[in-house]
Structure 1
Amino acid sequence: MRKINTFWNWFQDNNQTIKNLINETPKNQKHISFWINKNLGYYCKEIDFMIVYPKTANGKCELILTANGNPEYFNQVIDLVDNAPHLKNWKFTAFIQPTERIDEIINGLDEPYIFHEISLKASELTFLPVEYNELSHKLDIVVFLKSYNLYCDSKTLQQAIFIIMQDIVGEKSLCQNINFVQLAQIPENKEGLIQLYDFQLFLDNLNGVELNNYFLKMWKTVR
Structure 2
Amino acid sequence: MGRKFYSFTILTVLVFFGTMCTRNKSRQEKFWEWFSKNEKHIYENVESEKLQKQIFNDISSQLAKIDQNLVFEFSPIRKNNIREFSISADGIKESFPSVENLIKSSPKLTNWKFSAFRQRVPNDNYEIQYKEYNIGYDDIFYRYSTSNNEFGIELNIKNYDGSAGMQDAIYVLLDGLLGEYDVVMNINWIDWKKLDENESNKLHNLIELRALIDSRK
Structure 2 match to 1:219 = none
**What is the identity, as a one-letter code, of the residue corresponding to 1:172?**
Y
Greater helix proportion: 2
Inter-CA distance 177–192: structure 2 relative to 1 (3 Å threshold): farther
Q: Which has the higher contact order (CA 8 A, sep 6+)?
A: 1
Inter-CA distance 122–36: structure 2 relative to 1 (3 Å threshold): same
- 1:138–1:176: 8 Å Cα contact kept in structure 2? no
Provide, for residues 49-93 of structure 1, a one-character-per-residue CA deviation record: whole Å limited to 9, x for no partner: 11112245x421111000011111111111110110000110000
Structure 1: tracts of 5 or more residues without a match: 208-223
Question: SS of 2:156's equivalent?
Answer: strand
Structure 2: tracts of 5 or more residues without a match: 1-24
**What is the identity, as a one-letter code, of the residue corresponding to 1:41?**
A
Query: Which of 49, 55, 69 in structure 2 is aligned with 1:46?
Result: 69
Structure 2 match to 1:143 = 155
Provide, for residues 10-39 of structure 1, a one-character-per-residue CA deviation record: whole Å limited to 9, x for no partner: 00000001101235343x211111111111
Superposed displacement of residue 191, structure 1: 4.0
Q: Counterparts of 2:180 and 2:95 in 1: how far apart (Å)?
A: 12
Provide, for residues 108-135 of structure 1, a one-character-per-residue CA deviation record: whole Å limited to 9, x for no partner: xx5x42122232121332101256441x
Query: Which of 92, 115, 135 in structure 1 is aligned with 2:130?
Result: 115
Larger Rg: 2
- Map 1:1-150 → 2, pairs under 5 A: 2-26=26-50, 28-56=51-79, 58-102=80-124, 105=125, 110=126, 112-130=127-145, 132-134=147-149, 137-139=150-152, 141-148=153-160
Q: How many pairs align?
A: 192
TM-score by length of structure 2 reads: 0.79
**What is the identity, as a one-letter code, of the residue corresponding to 1:93?**
S
Cα root mean square deviation, aligned: 2.2
Query: Which of 156, 169, 193 in structure 2 is aligned with 1:160?
Result: 169
Q: Counterparts of 1:14 and 1:129 in 2: how far apart (Å)?
A: 46
Q: Counterparts of 1:29 and 1:97 in 2: how far apart (Å)?
A: 22
**Which is worse superposed, 61-70 or 16-25?**
16-25
TM-score by length of structure 1 reads: 0.77
Q: Counterparts of 1:78 and 1:199 in 2: how far apart (Å)?
A: 25
